[in-house]
Structure 1
Amino acid sequence: MSKTVMVVDDSSAIRKFVMFALRARGLTVVTAQDGMEALEKLARARVDLVITDLNMPKLDGFGLLRALREDADYADLPIIILSSLSSQEEQRQGLELGANAYLVKPFDQKRIQYEVSKFI
């Protein structure tokens, strides 16, 4: 059975690029535009991994990370941050909140496929 990845980013171009890269590897992809939409969709769909941006309206990536890690159902869900925020402080905060990996934009298709393959 195919694994499912949720891509959370307010940029439709980024969502499409990541979706293309993951579908090329046979993965099912669901998308959300921000953390609030991601939480709503997660309540209805089983997901094996989340890739999230940090800068988003409504609920940002840090808030989404917090919400998922505080929920026992998602405590072990692999989460990859994919962000243009590249400072050591943002990376430290993301990893301390429970992200499994932190990728900085821009990125290439092979890198995202490799990172995802480490978790599912």
Structure 2
Amino acid sequence: MLTTAQAAKVLGVRTDTVHAMKAEGRLTVRGKGPNKANLFARADVERLLVQRTEAKRGVPEQARLDEAEPECAGCRELRARLLVAESRARAADDRAERAVAAMNAAVGSAGHGHFSLG
């Protein structure tokens, strides 16, 4: 079981976004922790992460529906871990690009050159 903060970390979003996903019905509270904190099933969170990753990659909805789910539990686990790693890598790339843009804005205002990720 994952807390709201842990689910947010896995998904690469803020806790407010997890609350919104819960309100929209995309995540279901599976239990309550200390102080009545919401708890989410790790499998639900990882399933949502896979859906978000596929949507970001531009995989058409029909292709996602037609894609055969691996029969082996180990293969399903490996696929989920791969998609989680891919999502985390994409989030790290996005953070790096935002950092470079912020540095360029700061340096540009001082009249110096520009940074790049390449």
Give the TM-score category using the shorter length. Answer: under 0.3
User: More helix by proportion, 1 or 2?
Assistant: 2
User: More strand by proportion, 1 or 2?
Assistant: 1
TM-score (norm 2): 0.27
TM-score (norm 1): 0.27
Q: Which has the larger radius of gyration?
A: 2
